[in-house]
Structure 1
């Protein structure tokens, strides 16, 4: 019995030693994990500022990737951030995609770029790259109001939870006035380099560069397609920027005002047409404007022109509303469209005031009145009042077919017949005078 127990003890000791040896081997030589291999991959750049034009391009790119039956999308993210509403729409696009999405950060993915990366299935970074610093800022470069920060923090936290990442790290990237022990002190925002991101679980793997990245996923560079923005999409990205939007509207409206003060249709009018054309083209390519919006704008311009000839204010007011509606509805966001148009109108009003101060109202009014005078010395003679010829009789000097020449009270008078043909030499009588138009008919002969 004691021998059996001794043998059992030796067995237990041997098993324990084997387990300890296995643990030491695993610690010294961790298993090499290989990523799943994919058959068809597409490479999509996510560069520069994040705005609605980028959202439009990515929607087209994801649709094209699905049409090609791709099973892997690699987003090459290099952005300082941008508009959080555009980032929110891009995040939703990534989440809803049936294709596996990898966010590849080779340089920077700050602010809204971090949010886009968090929505991907995996995040891969290179040494020296960074992500984070996602506090929303206003137009003046200051931190946004607490309500916006709170909402954005929740969005970042939700995105982090998608792939079981620590939500507090996402919050630390947004919330300035909150301390996160072990992550950041109060009064700062968190940004992560590649090594730190891997530590806290925000980078799934680190690679030396693109070649190693493709090798990790079993992709050959010569078989991978890159989907890039078209020229039109690049223009759309530029035009839909809030600053450029406002500038185009300022140039367009300012050009119209300057043209009203300048003689003839010249440079200002041409620049104005170009600015409005670029505005609508960019928003049309981006998918925000359609022919209804363009039609409203053109209809408004037509009504404003008609107001010159049909004074009263109603036609002009309808035209103004139509122009504003077309411009605002073409924008990706009504609030942003109204803001850009408001800035443009304000600056245009300043330009108008300056031009009126310099040229007076005369410079504007002279565009709509005839300023040339017809003088007798220059050979101009006002038409005579010939209403006194009504009822006068004369003779047709030429045939009337229906116009002809008659002799009335010793004067040659150009006239037209009231009815049919009148032979030369026939007695005529004037029946009507309208301005310079003298109407005659053959005199009835008494029996």
Structure 2
């Protein structure tokens, strides 16, 4: 959840042209891999970065602080002691510990060097065998990991602070001492970051349910719950990625435009062109994919392969899963009692009494190829047609058919009845 919050804060600051961003820190540490993910977010920043250590920057917190260009510390505060341990608090096994310290020492050194800090100081935070010598003076000897308090961190050696730029009483005091211009705007955790974490993790499932719900809404006219379920899933998908700082509302607008184009294709142009439908589907897929891309202001418009890896995997899972489920539904759903319960039924015949009149599900009619009927509504390409005394939901292969036109059944697969104008030749 912290990662989600920081991602949102960083993108907000960049997008609004902030003159600098200040992170207030008070932590005894945490998982090093989580800290590395946060460092990766901070590395995308193009504006000056500051850390205000308000008491503690222990363990993984020191790695995050080193990922900013400037460090200020409260009068009573400390940074360092980043020795990796097990989640139980016990030391790592000797072999694992050696490998872990070697890797994270390199990570700390590179992070410090990138942001103008002393790499030796950074390594000494995690490696007790690291001696720190500056200008012939041994600042820290071997035998223990390095921890600095505020006074030690700001000590100048050869005209340069050991680590921190200065001591500050508060974030506002830091802004004043650092000479940062502009209005101070605070960004606080919204409380929805944990929700965003779960939603982004469940993105393939939400897309899968959304697509299946939309399919069922079209296949079982008159039943609203599949469409409502689909809308909720897509809304959660976009909301979660917005809260996670991955997308803005422009992708929602793109998705809506695509959906409108698809509806225009189905309702008005199915008999003459597929342009609206193709463009609409493309916009919808593009908006879903773009929503999942972790893109920062100032980056190239076209995402890299690394940025596309997870979004494409999620899309692949959702699309393949949708095809499989829809194929199974098309084959087996018409035979189930659930489908018959919700499928459209014939209107009851007129008469003084309706008691005892059996209800017949029109979708259960056996309409063999060659059966003749009459279009009741405009077929573009879907609509209704009458066969004997029954009105059935039908669809054409793209042909536009006016009401009261004779039609012939081409095929029936249980879920839908495909017809053509009776005046056309065989298809």
Give TM-score scaled by structure 1 length: 0.46
Larger Cα-atom Rg: 1
| Larger helix proportion of the pair | 1
Give TM-score scaled by structure 2 length: 0.48
